[in-house]
């Protein structure tokens, strides 16, 4: 029994941990970072092709 | 497992980028033949003259076919040996026409050097015991400075030459 409890507890707690938290800002910033990485990569690739 | 809607979007974006870049690496490696500049071929750094490409008379620019050139260089602290001109002076400037295909072959007698033709895609490490090769098409007209970009010692900044691409 004692070994079962630690396994069950996180599942119960993570039932829906994000409800009530506004993650819009997190989402936007993480997507901006992703777009920045893609834009720099393709920018450098264009530089490589033009030289 | 519960995932937030935003997490699903982010994971799709992240995995999509990963897949995209893996495809690009595969395309570059297997289709375009991109590989490290120093090949499996080795050379005795104490005796680079034994290699045909690095015999003193074979150094520098050579036209091997119409529009195709080879440049053989021996790097050493602190000089790029492009051979000598008709007057016996060391060559410090090579000229090729625009659009020509140039194969740079370079090795070093001593320490690690760099070979970068600044402003072009020619940029490689030169390691003792290895022959570094890079073939490129000189698309743009201009004067490009060759620089050593691996710190090789006190005279590192004195290692330079010029590649001129003319119309």
Structure tokens at B76: 């050493």
Question: Could you say which of B17, B21, B119 has the minimum Cβ distance to residue A51?
Answer: B119
pTM: 0.79
State residue A14's pLDDT score: 55
Place of tokens 């690095």: B54
Q: How confident is the model at residue A4 (pLDDT cuts 50, 70, 90)?
A: low
Nearest to B13 among A14, A24, A34 (CB): A34
B162 to each of A1, B69, B133, B146, how far by Cα in Å?
78, 16, 18, 6
* B99–A contact, CB cutoff 8 A: no
Pairing of strands B160-166, B142-147: antiparallel
Q: Taking the CB of residue B39, how many other CB atoms lie within 10 A of it?
A: 11
Residue of B nearest to A44 (CA): B121
- Count how many pairs of residues, chain A against chain B, have C-beta atoms within 8 Å: 30
B6–A51 C-beta distance less than 8 A: no
Where does B38-166 sit in CATH, by number? 2.60.40.420
Dihedral angle sign, alpha carbons of residues B20, B25, B29, B33? positive
pLDDT digits (tens, 9 = 90+) for B20-41: 999 999 998 999 888 888 777 8
The answer on pLDDT for A5 being more than 70 is no
Q: Give pLDDT tens digits for B45-54.
A: 999 999 999 9
Provide Rg for chain A, Cα atoms. 21
d(CA B122, CA B115): 8
- Are the C-beta atoms of B117 and B146 separated by less than 8 Å? yes
Using 50, 70 and 90 to split pLDDT, how confident is the model at A3?
low
- Reported ipTM: 0.74
- Chain B residue with CA closest to A11: the answer is B1
Cα A30 to Cα A44, B6, B73: the distances in Å are 21, 10, 47
pLDDT at residue B151 greater than cutoff 90: yes
Summarised one tens digit per residue, pLDDT across range A14-42 is 556 656 778 889 999 999 999 999 999 99
For chain B, the domains span 1-35, 38-166
> Which chain A residue shows the shortest CA-CA distance from B123?
A48
């Amino acid at each position: 029994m004692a070994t079962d409890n630690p396994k069950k507890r996180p599942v119960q707690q993570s039932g829906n941990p994000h409800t009530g938290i506004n993650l819009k800002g997190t989402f936007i910033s993480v997507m901006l970072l992703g777009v920045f990485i893609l834009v720099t990569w393709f920018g450098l690739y264009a530089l490589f092709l033009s030289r | 497992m519960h995932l937030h809607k935003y997490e699903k979007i982010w994971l799709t974006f992240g995995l999509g980028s990963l897949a995209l870049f893996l495809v690009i690496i595969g395309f570059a490696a297997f289709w375009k033949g991109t590989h490290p500049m120093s090949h499996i071929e080795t050379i005795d750094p104490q005796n680079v003259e034994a290699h045909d490409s690095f015999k003193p008379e074979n150094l520098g620019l050579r036209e091997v076919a119409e529009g195709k050139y080879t440049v053989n260089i021996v790097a050493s602290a602190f000089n790029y040996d492009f051979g000598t001109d008709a007057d016996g002076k060391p060559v410090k400037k090579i000229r090729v026409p625009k659009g020509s295909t140039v194969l740079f072959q370079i090795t070093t007698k001593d320490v690690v050097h760099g070979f970068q033709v600044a402003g072009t895609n020619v940029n490689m490490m030169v390691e003792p015991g290895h022959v570094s090769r890079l073939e490129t098409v000189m698309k743009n007209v201009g004067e490009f400075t060759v620089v050593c970009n691996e710190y090789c010692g006190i005279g590192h900044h004195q290692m330079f030459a010029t590649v001129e691409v003319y119309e």
